[in-house]
Amino acid sequence: MGHTIAEKILARAAGKKEVFPGDLINAKIDLALGNDITAPVAINEFKKTGADKVFDKERIALIPDHFTPNKDIQSAEQVKLMRDFARQQEIVHYYEVGRMGIEHALLPELGLVLPGEVVIGADSHTCTYGALGAFATGVGSTDLAAVMATGELWFKVPPTIRIVYHGNLPPWVGGKDLILYTIGKLGVDGARYAALEFSGPAIGKLGMDDRFTISNMAIEAGAKAGLFSPDEVTRKYLQGRAVRPYNAVLGDDDAPVAEEYNWDVESLEPQVSLPFSPANAQPVSSVVGTEIDQVVIGSCTNGRIDDLRQAAAILKGRKVHPRVRLLIIPATQAIYLQAMREGLLEIFAEAEAAVSTPTCGPCLGGHMGILAAGEVAVATTNRNFVGRMGHPESRVYLAGPAVAAASAVSGVIAHPGDIGGGEAR
């Protein structure tokens, strides 16, 4: 009997020949991550363990990104605590404003997360790295503290749910649409504590940016991890980027899974998730014409260069609707620079959008784009729960960058194919 990708990776990390769903294991961690909200708690707990040094100064990443640039005194103190700890412990991978990025875009970009590895982060969207074929999952701050001290953490081996996408993707449909559609089918707890495994002909044609988007939102279906099989697309992305050797892990064809879903996506429309759940996914045609006040293009879900290129293709030569605010947030400094070199930032500025330094900012209702009572936003972020982006009486519609950009121009939720121009992904 074969094994899934998740089972094989966890078996290696636990030093076992094989593991099965439900097994309790102790696994060695290849990389541990904390941000400016979660790391300070972990650092304080680490100090209580009595450990003098972290287990490996090159296997820990500390990235201030949620409330940075610091929005107030409290957030400044949080980052100072991280900065001081990183200096004291000589942690190699600490990235400050001007060099940093949104954590789940930055770490893959730097080649710090790799196929076949076990990665934990004190942030629920750590599952993003499954796009590279890593077993990556979010943990609590106390778990992060334990890993910083020991380099190990216990897991219950999850069952695997396989999602197979068939057919060719229609124009304007990308990774965000696939994952919103999937969450709409499964619900927010349909994959609870399972490893989602994404495959099929449609997946093989996706670039890494779309794959990161899909894995990023596996947690929105309740999943422990969201995994892709490493392939030539993965190899090319990591070429010249990976900071250490890696061993890609592929699942066995005869590996039993808890469930398998096969979906034909040939006729899939761009998707929009209505308030107040990512699972409220609908074809964009069902909400076309909904008036909006703000659009956010960015976040760890859709702030990568392909996302910005798609938005720019729609915005070029157009103006943001006078009733709408458009915020564009490149996910890392490197993406910001690439967008500058390609002239994308000029397109955004001429369209009268505001472009920000990398930050999570408005995604979690942090800063730089908070909604007032009654306001409506379209966002390429990952959650739209009550009050997620500001006032509890505001509303957030989740969408991909094409729908978001088209809506910014139209002043209402719009299908990108209906406004003419641009290029479908």
Mean pLDDT, residues 14-37 taken together: 98
pLDDT (tens digit per residue) in 292-305: 999 999 999 999 99
Maximum alpha-carbon separation in the chain: 62
Give the pLDDT score at 1: 80
Distance in angstroms (rounded) separating the CA atoms of residues 90 and 143: 21
pLDDT (tens digit per residue) in 200-227: 999 999 999 999 999 999 999 999 999 9
> What CATH number has the domain spanning 271-418?
3.30.499.10
Closest to 390 in 3D by CA, of 407, 376, 411, 404? 376
Q: What percent of the chain has pLDDT over 70?
A: 99
Beta-bridge mates of residue 295:
326, 378
| Cis peptide preceding 69, ω within 30 of 0 | yes
Give the pLDDT score at 422: 54
Give the pLDDT score at 100: 85
With beta carbons less than 8 A apart as the criterion, state whether 201 and 110 touch.
no
Angle at 166 between CA 160 and CA 171, to 5 degrees: 125
Distance in angstroms (rounded) separating the CA atoms of residues 257 and 64: 38
Closest to 21 in 3D by CA, of 150, 130, 156, 147? 156
With beta carbons less than 8 A apart as the criterion, state whether 330 and 299 touch.
no
Give the pLDDT score at 28: 98
- Calculate the alpha carbon distances from 147 to 9, 39, 45, 98, 181 in Å: 18, 12, 11, 28, 35
How would residue 419 be classed by pLDDT, with cut points 50, 70 and 90?
confident
Give the mean pLDDT of the chain.
Answer: 96
DSSP string for residues in 171-213? TT--HHHHHHHHHHHH-TTTTTT-EEEEESHHHHT--HHHHHH
Q: Given this chain, do its domains 5-262 and 271-418 carry the same CATH topology? A: yes
Domain range list for the chain: 5-262, 271-418
Tallying the residues shown for the chain, one arrives at 425
Give the pLDDT score at 424: 53
Mean pLDDT, residues 132-148 taken together: 98
Mean pLDDT, residues 70-78 taken together: 94
Give the pLDDT score at 425: 52
Give the pLDDT score at 423: 56
Distance in angstroms (rounded) separating the CA atoms of residues 330 and 311: 12
Pick the range with the lowest mean pLDDT from 13-17, 159-163, 343-347, 419-423. Answer: 419-423
Mean pLDDT, residues 150-158 taken together: 98
pTM of the model: 0.96
Give the pLDDT score at 73: 94
Class of domain 5-262: alpha beta
Give the pLDDT score at 291: 98
